[in-house]
């Protein structure tokens, strides 16, 4: 019996069972061979799950036993994640390729010492527009409020971003909002008549349902590509300003294989790996060493790589402190709940009510 | 004998106590806090309530009008046809609502989408089986002789319809309306798909509070309680107006 | 007049099926954006088969449906049987059992969410099973109750007169008679579970998603033709179950019933 158990143990543990790495990333965020090449080189197996939203990611990480090793949080949730202890510290000694990071992506406000995160890809939020229908091309967030395009504009279904658009118009800085700015921005948003609040307006832009969309640059680019007449969708960072967002790689608290996780981070920082990803997903890349390996068409693409002056106008959004967050949540609920179908329907509803009562009366009266 | 009865009664009652009554109590507890009460009293909530009520009411009325002729026709068919037609009516009910709504989204012209009208249309379309079945059941039971008698007495077909048929099928009308109104009142995926920014209903707001905003449990509970209270009240009124045996 | 009504009914029925037909057709459409037909393909189904996440969701869907159906069938049948007797508070009991059917599903879903949150049970498949059982219980109870009402109780009493104990009478007479009802209720519960979105959405978290939840997030985050394939598959499964349910309800039963 003992020998049997021992043999089983030896076979089981000593056998060539490859190590496992659990990665939780956004969809379509790797090059076709990124994962498989790593698996081959390090003799391991990667299981890849897709993040649907930052809320999803937060929910998964809470409890500290998510089962994930490497995760990809975006910049605005980082302070909250760090404070809640959802991430593990990264050991810089195990990630020598950190040196490849461009200087301006180190020590960012949301993780001053790069202890918990390494920038992965970055981009902007601006306005994607239908070139044929929107003439002259928009240069201001006010275009989304323009009555000429009423019912043809969409805003992102995200409180921070939608309010940012409104705040830019109020002359406030969405990176550092105040209660007053939120209130003013809310009043402006209540006057908006968007087609929809949509965080993925690609389809609507392609189909021509929406002519102006508050949009992530990556989505705008994919829409322009897919429209098969790629000149039709343009993208602009409005003159008042836009958002810069940065997606990061990080290690989840309680990661089953912290060592391998560090190796994966290091691997992703290799210039050729990083460049391959940028070439595939067309997002801008914080990796200095990778820049020379990135295709010219990506580097020169105005969607993916904004000009310096454009970038100067961009702000990093971050999650708000509790009291302001409450104010924003309430304001957002009010904006969402206002809708424009209310008034006419109240009237129709009243008429229907009258009809119902009359019929009931007739029935009861017999 | 008694023991056997208790053995039958206890398990389901216990289950429902834990998974229906207790949750309802917790929702109430969350709702009757300062935060919850603030949301219950807020104009945003009441606008949503009015909009949801109106949309559900209009949808129910249109559904009734659309279903009655069809139910009437089916009731007048030969039994073989009747069964086939009823089967065809009920079949979509057994399929996934989201799939059906998505199918509508694919088929509806773009100009009609993202509007309150589209939501009402979607509701009517999705709940037709719920309305047709009870109407059919009621109409089918009508003694034909009553209609003949009415016409013998000089009433026009139209008058016979309104003074005889409709009142006698009132139970079916009532059942159908309740079966359509209540789910329509609390629906959220359908308005999200078809309504764009316009038709934001109570259900959408509840989803926002519970799923998208941390720390809004009190607000979500308040709205849920409002929805529950309204539903129970309506159901109560409905049951007052008719009698039931067993559980059906 | 009847002709007009007949035409109207035909149009109405057609309108119920046209969107679904279009959806199914588009699942074979080679075009990525589904606006024009560019050719027949099984490619989207192929993609589905290779999509690990979808397969996981399929597994979750079936697991939740199966587990909750078993529980609900037992509890629902007990509930219906208990409702045969007359007792104080029967009205209240009847209301309680039919409540899950009468309230909008979002109310049940959110109440459960609030409770699980309060007792620190994080979203999981288990929560979903508990939630599904609750509403399935009500549907099974209603179906079995209807069957019980149509049943002739005198056969059961006769069996007891002939010397059978109440238990024996139950097992040998009542149960076989209501078995078709129980099975029909079970199939109904299973189908409702498979198609459920709202309760599942509020009781599960990421990774525990089911197919309907997946459809919801797919429509919200950008539609791909793969969705049409998923939807068609779900429809096909529902249809198969309906056919099964019809077969079952036609099963002849020996002793009691009709």
Q: What is the mean pLDDT of chain A?
A: 85
Question: Is C242 in contact with B189 (Cβ distance < 8 A)?
Answer: no
Written as one string, the DSSP assignment of B45-105 is: HHHHHHHHHHHHHHHHHHHHHHHHHHHHHHHTS-HHHHHHHHHHHHGGGGS-HHHHHHHHH
pLDDT at position A323: 87
User: What value does the mean pLDDT take over residues C220-246?
Assistant: 79
Classified as helix, coil or strand, C258 is: coil
* C253 min Cα distance to partner chain B (Å): 22
Tokens in use for B232?
A: 């129970």
C220 CB near a chain A CB, below 8 Å?
yes
Query: Where residue A6 falls among pLDDT bands split at 50, 70, 90?
Result: low
Question: Is A196 in contact with B211 (Cβ distance < 8 A)?
Answer: no
Q: Which of C8, C17, C82, C225 to mutate to test the interface with B (most CBs of B within 10 A)?
A: C82
Nearest to C35 among A52, A59, A207 (CB): A207
A200 CB near a chain C CB, below 8 Å?
yes
Tokens in use for B130?
A: 């719920």
Q: What is the pLDDT of residues A97-135, one digit of tens each?
A: 999 999 889 888 888 888 999 999 999 999 999 998 888
Distance CA A326, CA A330 (A): 6
Comparing alpha-carbon positions, the chain A residue that sits nearest to B118 is A341
Percent of chain A with pLDDT over 70: 88
Contacts of B55 in chain A (CB under 8 A): 345, 349
Closest C-alpha to B212, from A55, C149, C179: A55
pLDDT over 80 at C207, yes or no? no
Higher pLDDT, A341 or A358: A358
Residue A120 phi/psi, 5-degree rounding, is: -110, -60
Tokens in use for C236?
A: 């096909």
Closest C-alpha to B31, from A72, A214, C95, C107: C107
Query: Where residue C227 falls among pLDDT bands split at 50, 70, 90?
Result: confident
pLDDT at position A69: 93
CA A183 to chain centre: 25
pLDDT over 80 at B242, yes or no? no
pLDDT over 80 at A65, yes or no? no
Written as one string, the DSSP assignment of C84-135 is: TS--TTHHHHHHHHHHHHHS-HHHHHHHHHHHHHHTT--S-HHHHHHHHHHH
Residue A22: Cβ within 10 Å count: 21
Q: What is the mean pLDDT of chain C?
A: 84
Nearest to A63 among C53, C122, C207 (CB): C122
Give the burial class of A303: count Cβ atoms within 10 A of its Cβ; 0-12 exposed, 13-18 middle, 19 or more buried: buried
pLDDT over 60 at C253, yes or no? no
pLDDT at position C163: 77
Distance CA C193, CA C68 (A): 8
B35 CB near a chain C CB, below 8 Å?
no
Question: Is A206 in contact with C33 (Cβ distance < 8 A)?
Answer: yes
Distance CA A201, CA A183 (A): 26
H helix intervals, chain C: 2-26, 43-50, 52-82, 90-102, 105-118, 125-149, 153-161, 166-169, 175-195, 198-203, 211-220, 225-249
Q: What is the pLDDT of residues C161-177, one digit of tens each?
A: 887 777 777 788 888 88
pLDDT at position B248: 45
Q: Is B147 left (phi over 0), alpha (psi -120 to 50) or beta?
A: alpha
pLDDT at position B199: 87
Distance CA A73, CA A318 (A): 12
Closest C-alpha to A352, from C124, B8, B180: B180
Its pTM stands at 0.86
Distance CA C211, CA A13 (A): 37
Nearest to B186 among C22, C107, C111 (CB): C107
Distance CA B19, CA B22 (A): 6
Looking only at the bridges linking them, the beta strands covering A242-252 and A196-197 are unpaired
Closest C-alpha to B69, from C5, C180, A187: C5
The residue assigned the tokens 């109104």 is: B181
Higher pLDDT, A63 or B61: B61
Residue A289: Cβ within 10 Å count: 18
CATH superfamily of B49-241: MetI-like (1.10.3720.10)
Distance CA C228, CA C25 (A): 9
- Minimum mean pLDDT among A330-344, B85-99, C224-238, C239-253: which range? C239-253
Q: What is the pLDDT of residues B160-176, one digit of tens each?
A: 787 788 888 888 888 89
pLDDT over 70 at B25, yes or no? yes
Q: Which chains sit next to A, with 3 or more Cβ pairs under 8 A?
A: B, C
What does R_g of chain B's alpha carbons equal in angstroms? 22
Which domains are delineated in chain C? 24-249 (1.10.3720.10)
pLDDT over 80 at B151, yes or no? no
Query: Where residue C257 falls among pLDDT bands split at 50, 70, 90?
Result: very low
pLDDT at position A5: 57
User: What is the torsion angle, in degrees rounded to the nearest 10, for the CA atoms of residue A151, residue A155, residue A157 and residue A161?
Assistant: -160
Higher pLDDT, C207 or A165: A165
Q: Which chains sit next to C, with 3 or more Cβ pairs under 8 A?
A: A, B
B247 CB near a chain C CB, below 8 Å?
yes
Query: Where residue A283 falls among pLDDT bands split at 50, 70, 90?
Result: confident
Q: What is the DSSP letter of B163?
A: I
Higher pLDDT, B141 or B182: B182
Nearest to C2 among B30, B76, B187 (CB): B76
The residue assigned the tokens 């391998």 is: A260
User: What is the torsion angle, in degrees rounded to the nearest 10, for the CA atoms of residue B55, residue B56, residue B57 and residue B58?
Assistant: 50
pLDDT over 50 at A361, yes or no? yes
pLDDT over 50 at C254, yes or no? no
Percent of chain C with pLDDT over 70: 93
Q: Where are the domains of chain B?
A: 49-241
Tokens in use for C83?
A: 């409702």
Higher pLDDT, C129 or A48: C129
pLDDT at position A167: 94
User: What value does the mean pLDDT take over residues C18-46?
Assistant: 81
Higher pLDDT, C252 or A317: A317
Q: Which residues are paired to A24 by β-bridges? A: A49, A71
Q: What is the pLDDT of residues B84-120, one digit of tens each?
A: 999 899 888 878 888 889 889 888 888 888 888 899 9
Q: What is the pLDDT of residues C34-87, one digit of tens each?
A: 567 778 888 888 888 877 778 888 899 999 999 999 999 999 999 998 888 888
Closest C-alpha to B117, from B61, B199, B45, B180: B199
Distance CA A339, CA A196 (A): 10
Residues 6+ apart with CB under 8 A from C195: B94, B95, B96, B97, C212, C234, C238
Query: Where residue B122 falls among pLDDT bands split at 50, 70, 90?
Result: very high
Q: Which chains sit next to B, with 3 or more Cβ pairs under 8 A?
A: A, C
Our CA angle for A56, A79, A284, nearest 5°, is 75
Question: Is A56 in contact with C206 (Cβ distance < 8 A)?
Answer: yes
What does R_g of chain A's alpha carbons equal in angstroms? 25
A226 CB near a chain C CB, below 8 Å?
yes
C117 CB near a chain A CB, below 8 Å?
no
Q: Which of A49, A63, A213, A221 to mutate to test the interface with C (most CBs of C within 10 A)?
A: A49
Judge whether B195 and B101 are in contact, CB under 8 Å. no
Sign of torsion over alpha carbons B60, B65, B70, B72: positive
Q: How far is CA B101 from CA A262, B125, B126, B132, C48, in A?
A: 45, 9, 8, 19, 21
Tokens in use for B176?
A: 């159908």
Question: Is A356 in contact with B198 (Cβ distance < 8 A)?
Answer: no
H helix intervals, chain B: 2-16, 22-31, 34-41, 43-75, 79-90, 97-107, 116-140, 144-152, 157-160, 166-168, 170-186, 189-195, 202-207, 217-240
Question: Is A333 in contact with B200 (Cβ distance < 8 A)?
Answer: no
Tokens in use for C92?
A: 């209240």
Question: Is A52 in contact with C222 (Cβ distance < 8 A)?
Answer: no
């Amino acid at each position: 019996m003992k020998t049997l158990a021992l043999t089983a143990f030896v076979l089981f543990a000593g056998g060539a069972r490859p190590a496992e790495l659990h990665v939780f990333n956004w969809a379509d965020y790797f090059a076709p061979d990124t994962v498989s090449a790593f698996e081959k080189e390090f003799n391991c197996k990667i299981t890849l799950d897709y993040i649907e939203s930052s809320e999803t990611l937060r929910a998964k990480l809470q409890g500290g036993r998510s089962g994930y090793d490497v995760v990809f949080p975006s910049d605005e949730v980082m302070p909250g994640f760090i404070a809640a202890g959802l991430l593990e510290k990264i050991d810089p000694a195990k990630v020598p390729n950190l040196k490849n990071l461009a200087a301006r992506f180190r020590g960012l406000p949301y993780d001053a010492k790069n202890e918990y995160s390494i920038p992965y890809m970055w981009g902007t939020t601006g306005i994607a527009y239908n070139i044929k229908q929107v003439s002259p091309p928009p240069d201001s967030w006010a275009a989304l409020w323009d009555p000429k395009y009423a019912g043809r504009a969409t805003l992102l279904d995200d409180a921070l971003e939608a309010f940012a658009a409104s705040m830019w118009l109020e002359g406030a800085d969405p990176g550092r909002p105040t209660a007053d700015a939120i209130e003013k921005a809310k009043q402006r948003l209540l006057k908006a008549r968007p087609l929809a609040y949509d965080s993925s307006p690609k389809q609507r832009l392609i189909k021509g349902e929406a002519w102006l969309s508050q949009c992530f640059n990556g989505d705008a680019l994919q829409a322009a590509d897919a429209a098969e007449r790629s000149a039709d969708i343009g993208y602009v960072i409005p003159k008042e300003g836009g958002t810069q967002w940065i997606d990061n790689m990080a290690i989840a608290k309680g990661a089953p294989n912290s060592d391998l996780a560090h190796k994966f981070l290091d691997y992703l920082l290799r210039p050729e790996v990083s460049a391959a990803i940028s070439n595939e997903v067309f997002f801008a890349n914080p990796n200095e060493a990778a820049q020379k390996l990135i295709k010219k068409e990506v580097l020169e693409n105005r969607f993916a790589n904004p000009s310096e002056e454009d970038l100067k106008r961009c702000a990093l959004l971050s999650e708000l402190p509790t009291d302001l967050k409450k104010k924003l949540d309430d304001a957002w609920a009010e904006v969402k709940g206002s809708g424009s179908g209310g008034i006419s329907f109240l009237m129709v509803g009243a008429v229907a009510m009258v009809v119902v009562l009359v019929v009931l009366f007739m029935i009861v009266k017999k | 004998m008694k023991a056997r009865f208790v053995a039958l009664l206890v398990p389901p009652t216990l289950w429902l106590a834990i998974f229906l009554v207790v949750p309802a109590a917790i929702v109430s507890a969350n709702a009757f806090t300062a935060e919850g009460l603030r949301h219950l009293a807020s104009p945003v909530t009441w606008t949503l309530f009015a909009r949801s009520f109106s949309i559900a009411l209009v949808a129910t009325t249109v559904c009734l009008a659309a279903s009655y002729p069809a139910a009437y026709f089916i009731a007048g068919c030969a039994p073989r046809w009747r069964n086939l037609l009823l089967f065809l009516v009920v079949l979509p009910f057994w399929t996934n609502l989201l799939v059906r709504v998505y199918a509508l989204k694919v088929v509806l012209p773009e100009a009609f989408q993202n509007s309150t009208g589209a939501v009402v249309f979607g509701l009517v379309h999705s709940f037709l089986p719920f309305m047709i079945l009870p109407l059919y059941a009621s109409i089918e039971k009508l003694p034909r002789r009553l209609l003949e008698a009415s016409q013998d007495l000089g009433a026009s077909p139209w008058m016979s319809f309104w003074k005889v048929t409709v009142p006698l099928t009132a139970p079916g009308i009532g059942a159908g309306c309740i079966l359509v109104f209540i789910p329509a009142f609390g629906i959220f995926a359908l308005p999200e798909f078809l309504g764009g920014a316009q038709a934001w209903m109570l259900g959408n707001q509840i989803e926002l509070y519970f799923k998208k905003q941390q720390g809004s449990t009190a607000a979500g509970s308040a709205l849920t309680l409002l929805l529950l209270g309204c539903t129970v009240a309506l159901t109560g009124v409905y049951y007052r107006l008719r009698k039931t045996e067993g559980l059906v | 007049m009847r002709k007009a009504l007949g035409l109207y009914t035909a149009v109405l029925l057609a309108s119920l099926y046209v969107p679904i037909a279009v959806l199914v057709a588009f699942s074979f459409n080679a075009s990525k954006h589904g606006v024009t037909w560019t050719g027949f393909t099984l490619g989207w189904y192929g993609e589905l088969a290779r999509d690990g996440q979808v397969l996981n969701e399929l597994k979750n869907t079936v697991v939740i449906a199966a587990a909750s159906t078993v529980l609900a069938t037992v509890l629902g049948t007990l509930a219906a049987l208990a409702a045969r007797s007359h007792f104080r508070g029967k009205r209240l009991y009847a209301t309680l059992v039919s409540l899950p059917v009468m309230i909008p599903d979002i109310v049940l879903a959110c109440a459960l969410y609030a409770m699980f949150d309060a007792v620190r049970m994080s979203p999981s498949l288990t929560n979903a099973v508990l939630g599904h059982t609750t509403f399935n219980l009500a549907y099974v109870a209603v179906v079995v109750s209807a069957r019980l009402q149509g049943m002739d109780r005198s056969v059961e009493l006769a069996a007891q007169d002939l010397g059978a104990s109440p238990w024996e009478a139950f097992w040998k007479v009542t149960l076989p008679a209501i078995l078709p009802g129980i099975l029909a209720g079970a199939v109904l519960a299973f189908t409702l579970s498979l198609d459920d979105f709202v309760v599942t959405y509020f009781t599960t978290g990421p990774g525990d998603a089911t197919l309907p939840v997946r459809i919801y997030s797919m429509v919200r985050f950008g539609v791909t033709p793969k969705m049409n394939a998923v939807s068609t598959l779900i429809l096909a499964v529902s249809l198969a179950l309906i056919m099964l349910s019809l077969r079952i309800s036609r099963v002849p039963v020996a002793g009691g019933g009709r």
